[in-house]
C-alpha cells in the first residue's frame, strides 16, 4: 500500500504543478488572489480523480489477501473447523459480500486521500500568495510538499497501517 500511495503522490504532483502555474498566471497579478480558488480546487481534485480506478484495482488486489486471512482465521477459531473444504465452502458463500465491502472501503479511502491532498496543495498555494511568492516559488513549494521524503513516507506509512488494520477487521 505504501508503494501505491507514493506512486499516486508523484503522479498527482506531475500534473498538479502545471495546473497551479496556469491558475496563478491567469490572475491579473501575482499579488492578486487567484481569480477562482474553487476552480483551482476542482481542477486539482479532477487531476487526483484520474487515478481512482487504478487505486481501486490495486487497493483491492493488495488488501484482498489480508481480508481473506482475517476471515479464515476468524472462521477457524469459534467454529473449530479444521476441514479446509468446509472453511472454503463457507468463505465462498460470503466472498462477494467481502469484495463489495472492500471496494466500498477503497472508494472511501481514495476520496479521503484525494480531499486531504487537494486541501494540502491549496494550503501551499494560498500561503505562497500571501507571502507574495512568485509562481516558480509556489510550484517549488508544492513539489517539496510531495517530495519531502520524511513527510511523504510518514503519510504513506500512516495510511498503509490504517488500511491494513481495516482490511484485517473487514475479514472478521
Express each pLDDT in 26-43 by its tens digit. Answer: 665 544 556 567 878 888
Q: Per-residue confidence at 57, pLDDT binned at 50, 70, 90?
A: confident
State pTM to two decimals. 0.71
Alpha carbons 135 and 31: distance in angstroms, whole number? 11
Opening angle at CA 142, ends 42 and 4, nearest 5: 75
Express each pLDDT in 80-92 by its tens digit. Answer: 556 666 666 666 6
Mean of all residue pLDDT scores within the chain: 77
Residue 59 has pLDDT above 80, yes or no: yes
Residue 22 has pLDDT above 80, yes or no: no
- Dihedrals φ, ψ of 66, to 5°? -70, -45
For the range 132-135, what are the long-range contacts, defined as Cβ-Cβ under 8 Å and sequence gap of 24 or more? 132/30, 132/31, 133/30, 134/30, 135/21, 135/24, 135/25, 135/30
- Dihedrals φ, ψ of 111, to 5°? -60, -45
56 vs 1, more confident: 56
Express each pLDDT in 132-161 by its tens digit. Answer: 888 888 888 888 877 777 777 777 788 878
Burial class (CB within 10 angstroms; exposed 0-12, middle 13-18, buried 19+) of 60 = middle
Amino acid at each position: 500500500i505504501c508503494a501505491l500511495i507514493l506512486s499516486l503522490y508523484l503522479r498527482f504532483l506531475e500534473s498538479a504543478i502545471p495546473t497551479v502555474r496556469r491558475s496563478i498566471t491567469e490572475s491579473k497579478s501575482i499579488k492578486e488572489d487567484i481569480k477562482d480558488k474553487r476552480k483551482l480546487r476542482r481542477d486539482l481534485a479532477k487531476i487526483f480523480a484520474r487515478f481512482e480506478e487504478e487505486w481501486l484495482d490495486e487497493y483491492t488486489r493488495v488488501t484482498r489477501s489480508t481480508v481473506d486471512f482475517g476471515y479464515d482465521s476468524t472462521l477457524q477459531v469459534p467454529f473449530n473447523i479444521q476441514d479446509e473444504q468446509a472453511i472454503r465452502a463457507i468463505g465462498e458463500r460470503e466472498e462477494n459480500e467481502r469484495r463489495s465491502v472492500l471496494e466500498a472501503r477503497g472508494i472511501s479511502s481514495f476520496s479521503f486521500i484525494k480531499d486531504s491532498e487537494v486541501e494540502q496543495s491549496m494550503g501551499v498555494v494560498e500561503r505562497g500568495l500571501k507571502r507574495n511568492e512568485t509562481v516558480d516559488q509556489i510550484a517549488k513549494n508544492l513539489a517539496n510538499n510531495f517530495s519531502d521524503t520524511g513527510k511523504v513516507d510518514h503519510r504513506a506509512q500512516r495510511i498503509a497501517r490504517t488500511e491494513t488494520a481495516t482490511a484485517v477487521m473487514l475479514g472478521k
